[in-house]
Amino acid sequence: MPDTFFASVLDKNSDGVITHSLSQLPMSELAPDQILVKVACSSLNYKDALVYQGHPGIARHYPHVPGIDAAGTVVRSPHPDFPAGTAVIVTGFGLGTSAWGGHAEYIAVPADWLVRRPSAMSAEDSMALGTAGFTAALCVDALLRHDTRPEQGEILVSGASGGVGSVAVALLAQLGFQVAAVTRKPGLEAYFHQLGAQRTVAAAELATAPERALHKEEYAGAIDTVGGSTLSTLLKRIRYGGSVAACGMAENANFSSTVFPFILRGVNLLGIDSVAYPQSRRQAIWDKLANEWRLPQLQAITQAIGLKEVEAASQAMLAGERTGRTVVVI
Ligand SMILES: NC(=O)c1ccc[n+]([C@@H]2O[C@H](COP(=O)([O-])OP(=O)(O)OC[C@H]3O[C@@H](n4cnc5c(N)ncnc54)[C@H](OP(=O)(O)O)[C@@H]3O)[C@@H](O)[C@H]2O)c1
């Protein structure tokens, strides 16, 4: 085992300014009683971008290693369920927030953060999905559990060109749903068509007069990744008994609504959390993503970058300038 490992490191100086470097860290910093994983690749998520850009309240301590996702191989383990040599995926829990994350050659994590990487899925493909793809799968799973079916009509996906949105569009299309991809970016019709969307809707077109409590019933359901006025307005357009899976806040963490979508149309607002989602149910979702929910378009919507490029990519991500998913090759 080497004495040091390479990592992307954020530090906070005495003026509170966050600095970024690629550094060697001592292996002794990784807790010896946890499972040591050699990381093959990670990814870039919205939350990682917030951490790189110094948004408060996500990274708990400095120096900090970002990266809420990792795929790799167990190299040292006190746990019989995950012996050395096991191919694993870690997403969420405290990775890259309370604990050092996957933008590094090694991570040390508790056994209950690990999922076995399905044999039908490469490490690169697991990170092309990452937290974003896993969250998209949780949104789709929640809609299906609430009896949303293709024959009921169109499903709207907001923030559709982002990581969660792109995977959500592709998954829904693969399951036979008609999908309307809602985006602020012009000129992405071919991208959404490739993912399987029937229609692209400019985000501005969704806006309704704020004083209107309800709009014409249009969509059987929705996956909302942006919150804010988008979530407020799409709730007014959901058909009787439809469901909205809400997972994001790229536009705004606040939204407003009357109770009318809920009490006059029986609309369900479904909260989606990928971070603390129970380990006992994670494996089934990853197994689906590797098999019956496997996405042939995944590589076409994924870019690979190295650790040197992550800072610039995180700036572009928060500016809403990136499309699809980003794998970070370690
Ligand atoms: N609940 C969970 O467990 C969970 C897990 C993963 C992610 N998330 C959240 O889900 C959201 C999406 O994550 P992601 O990884 O997919 O991020 P992403 O790749 O950056 O995608 C976000 C997308 O949102 C849209 N957007 C960006 N800024 C916006 C703004 N100011 N107003 C309206 N739309 C905007 C853009 O899509 P268009 O240009 O196509 O409109 C952008 O591509 C984030 O808020 C993230 O924190 C939550």
Per-residue pLDDT of the chain (330 residues; tens, 9 = 90+): 899 999 999 999 888 889 999 999 999 999 999 999 999 999 999 999 999 999 988 998 999 999 999 999 999 999 999 999 999 999 999 999 999 999 999 999 999 999 999 999 999 999 999 999 999 999 999 999 999 999 999 999 999 999 999 999 999 999 999 999 999 999 999 999 999 999 999 999 988 777 789 999 999 999 999 999 999 999 999 999 999 999 999 999 999 999 999 999 999 999 999 999 999 899 999 999 999 999 999 999 999 999 999 999 999 999 999 999 999 999
Measured by CA distance, the residue closest to atom 4 of ligand 1 is 247
pTM over 0.95: yes
Residue nearest atom 6 in ligand 1 by C-alpha distance: 132
Q: Which of 60, 68, 76, 88 is nearest to 8 (CA)?
A: 68
CA distance to 9, 53, 60, 86, per residue, from 19 (Å): 8, 10, 15, 35
CA 257 from chain center: how many Å?
25
Helix extents (H) in the chain = 46-52, 123-145, 163-174, 189-195, 228-235, 260-263, 279-290, 310-318
Query: How many angstroms does the Cα of residue 248 sit away from the middle of ligand 1?
Result: 6
One-letter amino acid of 217? E
Closest-CA residue to 297 (of 196, 175, 222):
196
Closest atom of ligand 1 to 185 CA is 39
**C-beta atoms surrounding 144 within 10 Å:** 14
d(CA 24, CA 3) in angstroms, rounded, equals: 10
Pocket residues: Cβ below 6 A from ligand 1: 45-47, 131-132, 135, 159-165, 183-185, 203, 225-226, 247-251, 272-275, 317, 320
DSSP structure class, residue 56: T
Q: Kindly report the length of the chain.
A: 330
Identify the structural domains of the chain with CATH numbers, from first to last: 4-117+298-329 (3.90.180.10), 131-271 (3.40.50.720)
